[in-house]
Each structure stands twice: as structure tokens, then as C-alpha cells.
A and B are shown apart, each in its own frame.
Chain A
Amino acid sequence: MKKKINGRTLLLFWLVLSVLFLTAVCIGGSFLDETARVTDFSRKNISPCIQYPFGTDWLGRDMFARTIRGLSISILIGVCAASVSAVAAFLLGVVSATMGKMADGIVTWLIDLVMGIPHMLLLILICVASGRGLKGVILGVALTHWTSLTRLIRGEVLQLKEQNYVKIAYKLGKGRWYVAMKHMAPQLFPQFVVGLVLLFPHAILHESGITFLGFGLSNEQPAIGIILSEAMKYLVTGKWWLALFPGIMLVLTVICFYTMGDSLRKLIDPASAHQ
């Protein structure tokens, strides 16, 4: 045996690393709020160096501070909106699987409806409906991300209902609440948590996309989409660092969320942890 590291330990390592990175960005972002706003024309358009690792922009703002601050805003929005979405998905999924044919029909029809409009277009519509701004972004992301998780939860509950131990519990005279709490919840909860974490990257990607298009936050709040859309105006003049580093950080953030969700899933599911 060459590899001594246990698969589970490795997963745990990645999980902890991702969580650390994300918390560092969030905490760093709240400290760098002031630094991110400082404009100083004596240091504008500096390409990356040791003092300003991400360079500075045309107003002399430190891009590193701006990126971290922007990411922390984006993470916050994404996490909030995705959590709302996930709770809605859980409720709808359970309702659809347990409340009879009618409810099931309505929920699946709603899913088809939301999935029928291209995601970005629906986000645009919702942002316009709520008058753009922060509210629009959060509403938009929350209202459009529940579909796939709802399907997952619905399928899971439908399967659980067919399990023998659930049927036996009913036959033994246990109440609905007892079965739901004792037999269903322990199965559903891990699925839900993993689904929730895996919603975050989607939410953040869409949040950055919609702010990039100009539907989201105002220019004073440097969300990552705003930073990138501002950078785009200066691309042609060769200021590549304005786009490169914030983008890399965004990708890293999203990857961290994916790793988090993936390692959580594998850790919870004992069968796949040792593959």
C-alpha cells in the first residue's frame, strides 16, 4: 500500500479547507469594507505587484480589497437566497409526495413552468418586477432555484413511503407524525443538507451573472458581478488584471462550495466514502 491516507480523512481535509477559505473570505470582506472604497489617484492602473497583489483600477482602488469585499457580499446573498429556496423546495417536495394527486400535479406543473423559462431570462423578469436592486437579486435567486431540489425530495419521500419499515410502522398503529419524525426525517435530513450546500454555487453563479448584466446592486456595492462588468469596459485597453483575479477568486469560491457539498455527501453516505 502506497497511500496511507484514509479516504474519509482526505474528504474531511477538503471539507475543512473549503470551509476555512469561505469563512476567511467572509470575515476578510467585512474588515476590508473601508479599504475597498478608498480611491487614490496617485496609484491608479497599477498592474499586480507585491503591495497590490490584484493591481488597482482606474480610480486607484485596491482590487484585492474590492474582490474580497465583493465576494463576501455575493456569498452572503447567495447563501441567504439559496437557503430560502431550499426550505421552499423541502416543503413543496414533501407536500407533493404526501398530499395526494392534486397537490402533486400542481407542484410538478409549477416545476415545469419555472423550468420552461430560461433561467437567466426568469431572473431578469423577476429583477425587473421587483424594481432591480438587492431585493430583486435575492428574490430572483430564491424563486428560481428550488425546482431540482424539490424533485429530489419528492422522489425520496415517494420511495420512503414504499419502504417496508414505513408500511410496518403504519400497520403497527404509529401516527403520521411519529413516522415522519422517526423514519422519514433521519433519511431526508442528510439529503436536504447536501442539496442545500450544492445550491450555493448555483446561486452565487447566477447572482454574479445577474449583477453582471446590470440588474442587481448599485455601483457602490462592489458585488463580484459589478466588479467584473466594470472590468469589462477596460478590457480593450489591456487591463487584464481587473478581470482575471476577481474571476479566479469567484471560481475558487464556487469550487469550494462544490467540494463542501460533495465531501459532505460522501461522508454521510458510508458506501461511497471508501471508494
Chain B
Amino acid sequence: MSSSMGKTIGKNIIRMILLVIAVSIAAFTLMTLSPIDPLQANVGQAALGSMSQEQIAKLEEYWGVGQPPLQRYLAWAKDFFTGDMGVSLLYRQEVSKVIAVKLGNSMFLMVMAWVFSGILGFVLGAVAGMHRGRAADKIIRGYCLTVSSTPAFWIAMLLLIVFGVWLKVLPIGLSVPIGVEASGVTFLDRVRHAILPAVTLSITGISNIALHTREKMIDIMESDYVLFARARGESNWQIFKNHGFRNVIGPAMTLQFAAISEIFGGSVLVEQVFSYPGLGQAAVSAGLGSDLPLLMAITIISALFVFGGNLIANILYGVIDPRIRKGEKAV
């Protein structure tokens, strides 16, 4: 790889760091703008009424009421840089610990969904593109269009009704069986509990990548080099292997890395339906309970994932496409 490639990557990383800082400022501003009184939301009006002034003052200090925002932000940022994410107000644990557990649960699910939807979406898109206008294309396209207009949480609910309530083959929620000690939870249990959420995320994730791959594939099938390949007598599979694959995989991968943000968003909804204790569910309860440190940490971590995904996509593009490696622009 040339030095120009390294330069671009360096530039991208600096840009990414600046964006993450901006994200943290934006998220913090939004949180402090909130008119919701964290005391009222979490302690409750009745409990507040029966408390002494001192107790209320103590609680106010705990939830950070009344301090100037700039001071709070700087204090928060200083701690964050030294690796101290603060204490989650809702879980009464260090944010880093809460995040570690939740992120572990979510990653299990999201990686499964991401890989599965990526591969299947690519294959379906390629098949549809190569058989444009035929039955396979129509079915795949119809599926993609329907799914992209269906909210993820509703698909989750339908799957829950069918597999959890009617057939009773898969568990209804949570990431581990209830009433079993942590040491007694087997890997298989975890997989069983992650199947439905992961399938939901995959179902919705496929459509985007499949539709884009299809479009690209159609363009390639109409190109002169494919026409020439046909004239030479190459079979469909040979055409795909020799001409289609390399041209389509680049855009598909960029798209799939950019889709990390979508999967993250989808997991928020899906985890809520399955009461799967992942990052998304933590974000919802942090939002509803005005748990500032936790919500901030989740926002920044998810932003890191999104920007990281984009960065990897840019680098991979250079690896796959020699034109970009040499500093030219892709056509």
C-alpha cells in the first residue's frame, strides 16, 4: 500500500475523532436541554413529598440537578478520557461494567444478524440481478420491498407469536433462562435466546443490501464485457465468478459496513420486544429514566461503531478495488 493510502486513513481517523467529540457535545446538550426532572421521573412525586430537605438535596446532587452544564460536560469529558465513564444512575453500577455486560449480549446478536444478512442479502441480490424480470427476481424484489416497509418491532412481535406463543419452540424473552444460575447457563441456551432477535434483525437487514446488489448486478449484466463473455460461451456461474463478483462485492461491503448504524437502531426496537438485556434496551431505559452517564456512553460507543464501520469500508474498498488504491476515483 502506498503512502497516499496511509495519509487518507490518517485523515479519516482525525475526522472520526473530531466527529466523536462533536457527537458527545451534541448528546450532552440534548440531555441537558431536557425539561424532565430526573428526581420526579425516578423517585416519584409521592416519595419526594415525604422526604426531608436534606435528603432531596442529596438526591439532587446525585442526579446532577442545578450544576452549570459546561462544568458538568468538562468534568464528564475529563473522566471519560481517563477511562472513567461514571456511575450509571439507574443501575447504580459503573457505566463501564453495565456497558460491558449489555454490549456483550448485543454484540452476540448483532454480529450474528450482520453476517447472516450480509451474506444472504448479497447472494439474493446477485441472483435477482442476474435473472432480471424472471420469477426469482420478482419474488426477491417483492420480499425486499415488503420488508423495507415493515417496522422491525412488528416482525419481532409476529415471530414471537408464532414461535414463542403458538409453537412454543423458542423462548419468549431475555438472554438466558429464568431461574438458572449464571454458571448453569450453557452456550446453547444463549444461542436459543438470541435466535428470534437475530432472525428479526437479519430479515430486515437483508432488503437493503439485496436491492443495491441487484441494481449493481443489472448494470454489470448489461455491460459490453459481459456480452462478450456470453459470446465466448461462458456460463452464468463463470460470468458471476469472473466478472460479477469483484465488481459487486465492493459496493456491497461498503453498504454493509454503513448498515451498522441501521442494525444498531433495529436492535433498540427488537431488544425491547424480546426484553433482551442488550445495549438497545439499556438505551431505552436510560432515556426514559434520564440516566445521563449511561446514555452518553451508549451514544458514544455506538458512534464509534458507526464511524469505525465507515473507516473499515473505506480501507477495504482500497484493498478490493485497485483503481482506488492508486488514488483514482471509482467509476
Chain A residues at the B interface, C-beta cutoff of 8 Å: 109, 112-113, 115-121, 124-132, 201, 205, 208-209, 212-215, 228, 231-232, 235-236, 238, 240, 243-244, 247, 250-251, 254-255, 258
Contact = CB atoms under 8 A, between A and B. Distances in A.
B27 interface: yes
A228 B295 CA distance: 25
Nearest to A275: B133
Nearest to A123: B265
B31 A228 contact: no
B290 interface: yes
Contacts of A240: 161, 165
Nearest to A124: B287
Given A117-B306, A118-B265, A121-B264, A235 B161 contact: yes
Nearest to B160: A235
Interface string B208-245: 00000000000000000000000000000000000000
A231 B154 CA distance: 11
B269 A129 contact: no
Contact of A250 (B154, B273, B295): B154
A254 to B, nearest CB: 4
A113 B23 contact: yes
Nearest to A246: B154
A209 B288 contact: no
Contact of A243 (B34, B154, B261, B298): B154
Contact of B27 (A117, A127, A254): A117
A113 B288 CA distance: 24
Contact of A258 (B149, B288, B295, B306): B149
17 contacts: A113-B22, A117-B302, A117-B303, A119-B261, A120-B264, A121-B265, A121-B302, A124-B268, A129-B29, A212-B272, A213-B268, A215-B288, A235-B160, A243-B161, A250-B154, A251-B150, A251-B151
Contacts of A238: 165
A228 B153 contact: yes
Contacts of A116: 19-20, 23, 261, 303, 306-307
Contacts of B295: 124-125, 128
Nearest to B27: A125
A235 B164 CA distance: 10
A119 B161 contact: no
A126 B27 CA distance: 9
Contacts of A236: 164-165, 172
Given A254-B150, A255-B145, 7 more contacts: A116-B23, A117-B23, A117-B261, A213-B269, A213-B272, A215-B287, A228-B153
A132 B268 contact: no
Given A115-B306, A118-B302, A205-B151, A232 B157 contact: yes
Contacts of A254: 149-150
Contact of A120 (B145, B268, B273): B268
Nearest to A125: B30
Between A115, A121, A129, A208, the greatest number of chain B beta carbons within 10 A of the residue's beta carbon is seen for A121
Interface in B5-58: 15, 19-20, 22-23, 26-27, 29-31, 33-36
Contacts of A214: 284, 288
Contacts of B29: 129
Between A112, A120, A205, the greatest number of chain B beta carbons within 10 A of the residue's beta carbon is seen for A120
Given A205-B149, A235-B165, A255-B149, A247 B288 contact: no
B151 A120 contact: no
B93 interface: no
Q: Which 3 A-B pairs have the closest CB atoms?
A: A120-B265, A254-B149, A118-B264
A128 B36 CA distance: 8
B144 to A, nearest CB: 11
B311 to A, nearest CB: 12
Contacts of B149: 201, 205, 251, 254-255, 258
Nearest to B173: A236
B164 to A, nearest CB: 8
A232 B148 CA distance: 22
B160 to A, nearest CB: 6
B146 interface: yes
B96 interface: no
B283 to A, nearest CB: 6
